[in-house]
């Protein structure tokens, strides 16, 4: 797989395609129109890669940033950015991919507009539903992935164990060993 999906919903994972936002140089996972088409396939929104152009990628990045701004506002208890809200709602009004049943099983064909609509509707569902209270940002200081914490007692700390949880746990282990004067191996 080319992309990671630790958020628990397509909208959170889509917003997380700009990784490590807290670094001076974040990592862009949607670096080409092809990577956008792959993301929609890997996310399960579409069965096949959706052909995308450079203008489609720009539209996707605008949608992604709008979703991200809404997520941050919801987590902070702040008012939603009007432009971000308008963009997400505009896409959410459009038709989404429709699963079909065929002789070989279930399949989903999607246009780019339908894929954008699926992300936008998922953002509406997450931010306007009970999962909104479960949103957390990864505990790795460099990571900016937001996820739905459905763990028992809401004790999840990282977007995923690999790499974030493992990195933090290993650093804590090395720090404890340094404090006790032991070699870390």
CATH of residue 138's domain is 1.10.3300.10
- Per the domain annotation, does 78 fall within a domain? yes
CB 26 within 8 A of CB 16: no
pLDDT greater than 90 at residue 178: no
Residues 51 and 53: their CA atoms lie apart, in Å, by 7
pLDDT band at 182, cuts 50/70/90?
low
- Phi/psi zone of residue 105: left (φ > 0), alpha (ψ -120 to 50 degrees), beta? left
pLDDT confidence of residue 26: 96
- Per the domain annotation, does 3 fall within a domain? no
Residues 107 and 128: their CA atoms lie apart, in Å, by 28
pLDDT digits (tens, 9 = 90+) for 40-91: 999 999 999 999 999 999 999 999 999 999 999 999 999 999 999 999 999 9
Residues 54 and 117: their CA atoms lie apart, in Å, by 19
- Per the domain annotation, does 172 fall within a domain? no
- Per the domain annotation, does 2 fall within a domain? no
- Per the domain annotation, does 179 fall within a domain? no
Residues 70 and 53: their CA atoms lie apart, in Å, by 26
- Per the domain annotation, does 155 fall within a domain? no
* Terminal-residue alpha carbon distance, the chain: 33
Max CA pair span of the chain: 65
pLDDT confidence of residue 169: 64
- Per the domain annotation, does 160 fall within a domain? no
CA dihedral 25, 144, 118, 54 (to 10 degrees): 0
Helical segments of 47-152, H only: 54-76, 82-92, 112-127
pLDDT confidence of residue 171: 62
Q: How far is CA 69 from CA 59, 81, 134, 142, 170, in A?
A: 15, 7, 17, 18, 32
Residues 122 and 10: their CA atoms lie apart, in Å, by 7
Within 8 A by CB and 6+ apart from 101, the residues are none
Residues 126 and 133: their CA atoms lie apart, in Å, by 9
Give this prediction's pTM: 0.87
Residues 19 and 126: their CA atoms lie apart, in Å, by 20
pLDDT confidence of residue 14: 98
- Per the domain annotation, does 93 fall within a domain? yes
Q: Is the peptide bond before 163 cis (omega within 30 degrees of 0)?
A: yes
Expressed as residue numbers, the domain containing 51 is: 10-150
Question: How many domains does one find in the chain?
Answer: 1
């Amino acid at each position: 797989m080319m992309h990671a999906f630790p958020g628990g919903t397509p909208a959170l994972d889509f917003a997380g395609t700009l990784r490590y936002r807290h670094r001076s140089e974040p990592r862009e996972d949607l670096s080409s129109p092809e990577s956008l088409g792959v993301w929609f396939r890997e996310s399960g929104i579409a069965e096949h890669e959706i052909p995308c152009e450079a203008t489609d990628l720009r539209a996707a990045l605008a949608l992604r940033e709008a979703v991200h701004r809404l997520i941050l506002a919801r987590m902070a208890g702040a008012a939603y950015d009007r432009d971000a809200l308008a963009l997400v709602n505009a896409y959410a009004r459009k038709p989404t991919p429709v699963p079909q049943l065929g002789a070989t099983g279930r399949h989903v064909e999607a246009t780019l507009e339908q894929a954008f609509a699926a992300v936008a509707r998922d953002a509406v569902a997450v931010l306007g539903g009970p999962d909104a209270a479960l949103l957390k940002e990864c505990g790795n200081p460099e990571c900016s992935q937001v996820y739905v914490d459905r763990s028992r007692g809401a004790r999840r700390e990282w977007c995923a164990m690999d790499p974030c949880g493992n990195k933090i746990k290993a650093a804590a282990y090395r720090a404890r060993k340094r404090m006790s004067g032991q070699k870390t191996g």
